[in-house]
A and B are shown apart, each in its own frame.
Chain A
């Protein structure tokens, strides 16, 4: 109870300070006459806290170099996952930069990709693809290289995320936004104090009719492949086939495939155990937190699972490129980055932000796993043509 109190207090506190620093930025921007572009942002963060001086000065060096007089556009069209930043996050950016933002939502990478494919990439300026999707989008020339000079806060990223296996090369096409894992979540009120350490739990007949798996090809196929001891990026037809059979076998035990309602199902004791993304599981954890503990648990199985990074990328035909860069720079700010993680309970790739992230998040091994667990986790990779094998298998599973 007291801890929950403090959480919400700190959230309110963070939100308020966010608003105050936003106001400060607007003031500063007014003073400098709006001449520079990226430099406003870095000046602002220096002014509001002044803690990471070195990063700040790096940043303003960069923006000095790129002072081409690129004005921010009036508008920014974002295509983003649902519920991925705190309330008021967008209006904060709008006020600070005087850009009007419109946001559309999607619920899977494939859905986003197909929407861009069907309607052209010019529909949106800024998108938030996951790791492997960055690679696919890049191969299809659907994203454009970023101008890192316009993103001085890029230096805030931790070493691990500054270089990305899914976005190699000199030019960067994506900037990490949030990262997390997928694993098994359960509510003790529903299943008791059970021992979960393997994916085997999700095939346990004892929990028949009260489990769900994510409604996501690569995640759920990945879980089955990991359970079988294979890589979740395998392109071996026989291994994919085996995983498919395993999932068809599992179908009778499941209540549903679902990627959006699982936190609610955990909170309301409707389904448990279930295949979950870490952030959703932790939302449920805090929602049910009382007297110093919560009945909701989240476990990364010992066979390993998925580690993923959602990134921000600018579409190839984006109309508001400068505003999109400004937005990326905005969320990479240390305090803003912390504000996002304190809301989502996903890991932040932003090292400078850790100072402002709640201790209960930083110390939680299910959010920031230890090195041994990390070594069992795999990124979902772009596997080219083999994608068809996965989507065919998935289709057969869903229709079986």
Chain B
């Protein structure tokens, strides 16, 4: 009734409102405008500025030079190409170094080493992969237990326990690890009881400490997606498989695991990205041998005062991450 009166009172306006309301774009614009504004102003615009900076040059006192004669690929070149080597030489040096590092035994295929930045980049990716694998090995059984074996009434409680560490600040937890790993701490003194551990040993400032920190902080991101996909699985399929002659392992490997794969995929990506780009964890737990690409980028924007180089490093890292994730998803998609 009210609407009728309204329509009659202001016919033209109401018609306009109706037309706007029925227009196919209205919904899209209303729904997307806030997020588009947010992402545009606070994500895309800064990203574009940094991308532009990465083609610039550093002035003597750290200012960014962006005049036309300064623009070019020099920062990317400096990142990838050692000394006077050619593009091809740099590529070969990188590949040869990777082979040398990954396969033990073969030594020095190429005489030129890749730049320290490239080595740092691959080291960070290595940390990322390692942290992801360890998170998977530790997290999967846990997610399986929570999603399938644990009694229904405890499931929510267990999930809350997994999330619980997030209630305390990230930094506080890293400092707590520092305390635990330094020499003569409670933990290290307890370890000293073991026959092969010396008294007064410290695990701080080591690659192990960094890996421990990465896994500890990011493992919930592995457990939660895996849990949610395991919880969806219809476990009568496992019984069916075993009825048809599969043993427990086969039933798990061929029937259950493939169904939990979307969770493993999501979890791996969620652990890998922040691990490979970590900055605070290697800064606080690492030593001289365990700095990562994130520390390099941070120092370029900080004490080294070389924004273009830092920006170039950041975009290389981003490119490599996007590529590896694309490859991983494609590979995973075919396997599933």
On chain A, the number of residues with a Cβ less than 8 Å from chain B's Cβ atoms is 31
Residue pair B303, A110 in contact (C-beta under 8 Å):
yes
Given the known interface contacts A110-B304, A113-B305, A270-B183, the answer about A398 and B291 at a Cβ–Cβ threshold of 8 Å is yes
Question: What is the CA–CA distance of A391 and B306 in the complex, to the nearest angstrom?
Answer: 9
Residue pair A400, B116 in contact (C-beta under 8 Å):
yes
Complex interface residues of chain B between 112 and 153 (CB less than 8 A to chain A) = 116-117, 119-120
Question: What is the CA–CA distance of A395 and B62 in the complex, to the nearest angstrom?
Answer: 14
On chain B, the number of residues with a Cβ less than 8 Å from chain A's Cβ atoms is 30
Q: Tell whether B173 is near chain A: CB-to-CB under 8 Å.
A: no
**CB proximity of A293 to chain B, nearest CB, Å:** 22
Q: Which residues of A contact B119 (CB under 8 A)?
A: 399
**Binary interface profile of A, 383-400, with partner B (CB < 8 Å = 1, else 0)?**
011011001001110111
Residue pair B305, A398 in contact (C-beta under 8 Å):
no
Q: Which residues of A contact B288 (CB under 8 A)?
A: 251-252, 254-257
Complex interface residues of chain B between 270 and 292 (CB less than 8 A to chain A) = 286-289, 291
Residue pair A399, B120 in contact (C-beta under 8 Å):
yes
Among B183, B184, B205, B289, the residue within 8 A (CB) of A251 is B289
Complex interface residues of chain A between 278 and 309 (CB less than 8 A to chain B) = none
Q: Tell whether B228 is near chain A: CB-to-CB under 8 Å.
A: no
Whose C-beta in chain B lies nearest to the C-beta of A118? B307
Residue pair B184, A113 in contact (C-beta under 8 Å):
no
Binds A, one of B1-9, B189-197, B252-260, B294-302: B294-302
Question: What is the CA–CA distance of A394 and B204 in the complex, to the nearest angstrom?
Answer: 23
Among B182, B291, B295, B302, the residue within 8 A (CB) of A270 is B182
Residue pair A254, B60 in contact (C-beta under 8 Å):
no
**CB proximity of B59 to chain A, nearest CB, Å:** 10
Residue pair B304, A399 in contact (C-beta under 8 Å):
no
Q: Which of B120, B182, B286, B301 counts the most chain A CB atoms within 10 A? A: B182
Residue pair B287, A255 in contact (C-beta under 8 Å):
yes
Complex interface residues of chain B between 184 and 238 (CB less than 8 A to chain A) = 184, 202, 204-205
Residue pair B287, A117 in contact (C-beta under 8 Å):
no
Residue pair A256, B302 in contact (C-beta under 8 Å):
no
Question: What is the CA–CA distance of A140 and B119 in the complex, to the nearest angstrom?
Answer: 36
Q: Which residues of B contact A385 (CB under 8 A)?
A: 60
Whose C-beta in chain A lies nearest to the C-beta of B201? A209
Question: What is the CA–CA distance of A270 and B205 in the complex, to the nearest angstrom?
Answer: 11
Residue pair A388, B120 in contact (C-beta under 8 Å):
no
Question: What is the CA–CA distance of A257 and B284 in the complex, to the nearest angstrom?
Answer: 11
Q: Which DSSP category, helix, strand, loop or mixed, fits chain A's interface?
A: helix
Q: Which of A111, A139, A257, A399 counts the most chain B CB atoms within 10 A? A: A399
**CB proximity of B180 to chain A, nearest CB, Å:** 13
Given the known interface contacts A388-B60, A396-B116, A398-B296, the answer about A114 and B289 at a Cβ–Cβ threshold of 8 Å is no
Residue pair B182, A255 in contact (C-beta under 8 Å):
no
Q: Which residues of A contact B304 (CB under 8 A)?
A: 110, 217, 391, 394-395
Question: What is the CA–CA distance of A64 and B202 in the complex, to the nearest angstrom?
Answer: 62
Q: Between A and B, how many residue pairs show CB distances below 8 Å?
A: 77
Whose C-beta in chain A lies nearest to the C-beta of B285? A256
Complex interface residues of chain A between 117 and 166 (CB less than 8 A to chain B) = 117, 136, 139-140
Q: Which residues of B contact A114 (CB under 8 A)?
A: 62, 301-303, 305
Question: What is the CA–CA distance of A257 and B287 in the complex, to the nearest angstrom?
Answer: 7
Q: Which residues of B contact A396 (CB under 8 A)?
A: 116
Q: Which residues of B contact A391 (CB under 8 A)?
A: 304-306
**CB proximity of B43 to chain A, nearest CB, Å:** 19
Question: What is the CA–CA distance of A391 and B120 in the complex, to the nearest angstrom?
Answer: 17
Q: Which residues of A contact B204 (CB under 8 A)?
A: 255, 270
Q: Which residues of A contact B261 (CB under 8 A)?
A: none
Question: What is the CA–CA distance of A256 and B295 in the complex, to the nearest angstrom?
Answer: 13
Residue pair B299, A398 in contact (C-beta under 8 Å):
yes
Q: Which residues of B contact A399 (CB under 8 A)?
A: 116-117, 119-120, 291, 296
Q: Which residues of B contact A235 (CB under 8 A)?
A: none
Q: Tell whether A104 is near chain B: CB-to-CB under 8 Å.
A: no
Whose C-beta in chain A lies nearest to the C-beta of B286? A256
Question: What is the CA–CA distance of A269 and B296 in the complex, to the nearest angstrom?
Answer: 29
Given the known interface contacts A113-B305, A398-B291, the answer about A269 and B61 at a Cβ–Cβ threshold of 8 Å is no
Residue pair A269, B305 in contact (C-beta under 8 Å):
no
Residue pair B205, A117 in contact (C-beta under 8 Å):
no
Question: What is the CA–CA distance of A254 and B287 in the complex, to the nearest angstrom?
Answer: 8
Whose C-beta in chain A lies nearest to the C-beta of B58? A388
Residue pair A252, B289 in contact (C-beta under 8 Å):
yes
Q: Tell whether B247 is near chain A: CB-to-CB under 8 Å.
A: no
Question: What is the CA–CA distance of A72 and B239 in the complex, to the nearest angstrom?
Answer: 83
Residue pair A117, B62 in contact (C-beta under 8 Å):
yes
Q: Which residues of A contact B287 (CB under 8 A)?
A: 254-256
Q: Which residues of B contact A204 (CB under 8 A)?
A: none
Among A256, A269, A398, the residue within 8 A (CB) of B205 is A256
Q: Tell whether A108 is near chain B: CB-to-CB under 8 Å.
A: yes
Question: What is the CA–CA distance of A110 and B306 in the complex, to the nearest angstrom?
Answer: 11
Whose C-beta in chain B lies nearest to the C-beta of A395? B304
Q: Tell whether B13 is near chain A: CB-to-CB under 8 Å.
A: no
Q: List the 4 closest A-B pairs by CB distance, nearest first.
A: A399-B116, A110-B303, A255-B205, A256-B205
| Given A256-B287, A391-B304, A399-B119, 19 extra CB contacts under 8 A | A108-B302, A110-B302, A111-B302, A113-B62, A114-B301, A114-B305, A117-B63, A136-B61, A251-B289, A256-B286, A256-B288, A270-B202, A270-B204, A387-B61, A391-B305, A394-B304, A395-B116, A395-B300, A399-B296
Enumerate 6 A-B pairs (CB-CB under 8 Å) in ascending A order: A110-B304, A111-B303, A114-B62, A139-B61, A395-B296, A399-B120
